[in-house]
Structure 1
Amino acid sequence: MVNLTEFQQLIETQQLSLGTLPKALQALFYDKKGNWNQAHEIVQNASDADSAWVHAYLHRKEGDLSNARYWYRRSNQLEFSGELNQEWEAITSYLLKKVK
């Protein structure tokens, strides 16, 4: 696959085949494009831990911290305390390494 910088460039140029990506990365793509609703729709019914982690991030971004905490627990990830863009990058980097 690609690294974080390359992934961000592919998002900007829209040269990314979403169908080949795991749902969690698809959701992060849509979030980066400014489409929170599409991102949320992708992960809201997924049962894997990676999607739960993205789901937590999305609710944190929305400002629904109670719901975000629930999804952090479901994902077995610690609640992120940094900036939202730092969390997006951390999750994306981790998931991209898993795809390789």
Structure 2
Amino acid sequence: MDYQEFKKSLAEEFPPEDWSAVLKSLWYDANGKWEASHDIVDGMNNAIAKWVHAYLHRKEGDDWNARYWYRQAGKSFPKRSLEEEHRELVEFILNQ
């Protein structure tokens, strides 16, 4: 799967069952369901989930909380757009 296929999947009602939790989280975010996206990664303790968590709080406009989660993920606060970061996250997960 690549990023374009991920984008095409957004027309479906739900993300594919066999996707990882963090990829599903990004799918919900891309479908305007921030709360569902956050619920998935909230409480997850791996670096990629922390990065997604940081991205979500940045998108929400809570930079203080986002900075905390970027530090937890070992990332610096990004200067790129939210759209660029979302794509980077999706592609990172797809290439694992």
TM-score (norm 1): 0.89
Gaps of 5+ in 1: none
Gaps of 5+ in 2: none
Runs of 4+ in 1 over 3 A off after TM superposition: 13-16
Change (3 A) 1:86 1:64: same
- Residue 25 (structure 2) aligns with: 27
- Residue 8 (structure 1) aligns with: 7
- Residue 72 (structure 2) aligns with: 74
More helix by share: 1
1:13 deviation in Å? 3.6
Higher relative contact order (CA 8 A, sep 6+): 1
Determine helix, strand or coil for the equivalent of 1:29: helix
1:16 deviation in Å? 4.0
CA contact (8 A) 2:41 2:50 kept: yes
Cα RMSD for the two superposed structures: 1.3
Q: Aligned ranges for residues 33-72 of structure 1 at < 5 Å?
A: 33-72=31-70
Identity of aligned residues (%): 35
CA distance in 2, matches of 1:95, 1:58: 16
Query: How many matched pairs?
Result: 96
CA distance in 2, matches of 1:13, 1:37: 18
